[in-house]
Amino acid sequence: MLVTPNTLDRLKTTVKDKLLLGNEPTPELIAILLVYFVQGILGLARLAISFFLKDDLALSPAEVSALLGVVALPWMVKPLFGFLSDGLPLFGYRRRTYLVLAGLLGTIAWVGLATIVDKPWQATIAIALSSLSVAVSDVIVDSLVVERARIESHSNAGALQSLCWGASAIGGIITAYLSGALLQQFGIQTIFLITATFPLIVSAVAGLIAEQPTSDRADFSQVKQQIGLLKTAISQKAIWMPTLFLFLWQATPSADSAFFFFSTNELGFEPEFLGRVRLVTSVASLLGIWMFQRFFKAVPLRKIFGWSIVISAGLGLTALILVTHANRAIGIDDRWFSLGDSLVLTVAGQIAFMPVLVLAARLCPPGIEATLFALLMSVFNIAGAVSQELGALLTHWMQVTPENFERLWLLVLITNLTTLLPLPLINWLPSENDTAPSVFPPQLDTVPELERV
């Protein structure tokens, strides 16, 4: 076969379309994808944080759970960052400057963790600042994605969001195993210093954002308009009732921190093995998303939420087998059982989470789709923080400590059974034929779509 220059050009175009899902590889798109990639690769320090709080600061399972709930605060107020970005330009830019500051803030936080942090209150501040860094950059690139998605062709709908999620997933998978192996080889502080370099990428690519400088001073008129539309929306039962259901479901207590202590102190799982578990769960998450798209996306919301809650609670109880060492009685090693259990639970958990995104999108009425979506995700994050704090209280009441896991089985039992409590309220979710509610008076129908926060 004769390969001509035209053939090569067509081949390059085909490869580009497949790799970037039909999106033009502009400098701005590369910058956006790099920011999402950094969000994924920051997972390198996840295990280091857990061991730092447990070993270096000698915190109890209850204290770790409480701290993790507090440092999630920036993710609860994400719409606020969007409002500020829209209404308050910094040094003439609404996007670039915020990305630069977010990156620098993240680097400062991780360097602080590696060098001067040696008290719980200092760790809380530093971890919260690193969380703030990621939350701000996430809001900014989300707004850029929404802007680009507005001009996306119908045949290419959703491709940009899939591309961005893929960039984050690749970063997460790369660091999943490395987070444990590198931690075991180099130590906690070295991992923090390595992680400190990644936010600088966010600052470096900010100049690639296609944004013209503005001479406008702080103008909060758009923010006021958004707040007015949000107030109108959230006053509707068709929106606040499903949102409250999601909150109650996700706010049930968690035993994650206590189980981490059990895995390391009782079962002797070292960082390298926990990195393998993270790798398995990262891949399992992708599998869960594929299964949802392939088999469950057409299932009515009430049905899939109901079954997801019941099945997830049942599968969560399998942790009792590991806690009581029943797996050893049937000849299954702790490590193999943990890997298999994590695989199944993650697939089921991802399938259960995908309808949340579908429901959030369906609840958003015309005019403030993106802004209300960000608000709904903030409510979801608040529920996660409440879950951590309730888990901390239960862990304390059950007297589960780094040396005492006698009542961990009861903690696992309670935390899984409480996830069933919202089931009687399943009718608060939209029925099969419901669509996004029309909540705005006729005079607001002409309001242009507001930028995502």
- Residues 349 and 355: their CA atoms lie apart, in Å, by 11
How confident is residue 437, by pLDDT bands cut at 50, 70 and 90?
A: very low
Task: Read off the pLDDT of residues 182-240 as tens digits, 9 standing for 90 and up.
Answer: 888 888 999 999 999 999 999 999 888 877 777 666 556 666 776 777 777 777 787 78
DSSP state, residue 208: G
Which residues on adjacent β-strands are paired with residue 90? 93
Residue at 324: amino acid letter = T
From residue 418, alpha-carbon distances to 92, 99, 248, 274, 316 in Å are 50, 40, 10, 27, 11
pLDDT digits (tens, 9 = 90+) for 280-332: 887 887 787 778 777 877 777 788 888 888 888 888 888 888 888 888 888 88
Lowest mean pLDDT among 337-341, 443-447, 449-453: 449-453
Residues 402-429 as b or e (16 or more Cβ within 10 Å = b): beebebbebbbbbbbebbeebeeeeebb
CB 276 within 8 A of CB 339: yes
Tokens describing residue 159: 């491709």
CB 117 within 8 A of CB 56: no
The 10s digit of each residue's pLDDT in 120-152 is 999 999 999 999 999 999 888 877 776 665 555
What token pair was written down for 330?
């049937």
The CA distance from 119 to 397, in Å, is 24
What is the pLDDT at residue 272? 81
In this structure, the chain runs to a length of 453
Which pTM was predicted?
0.75
| Tokens, residue 314 | 């049942």
DSSP labels, 234-278: HTSHHHHHHHHHHHHHHTS---HHHHHHIIIIIS---HHHHHHHH
> Which domains are seen in the chain, by residue range?
23-219 (1.20.1250.20), 227-436 (1.20.1250.20)
How far, in whole angstroms, is CA 44 from its chain's centroid?
A: 15
> Rounded to the nearest 5°, which phi and psi values hold at 90?
-115, 120
Contact yes or no for 179/275 (Cβ under 8 A): yes
> Over the stretch 402-414, which tens digit does the pLDDT of each residue have?
888 889 899 999 9
C-alpha 347/C-alpha 281 separation (Å) is 8
More confident residue, 435 or 76: 76
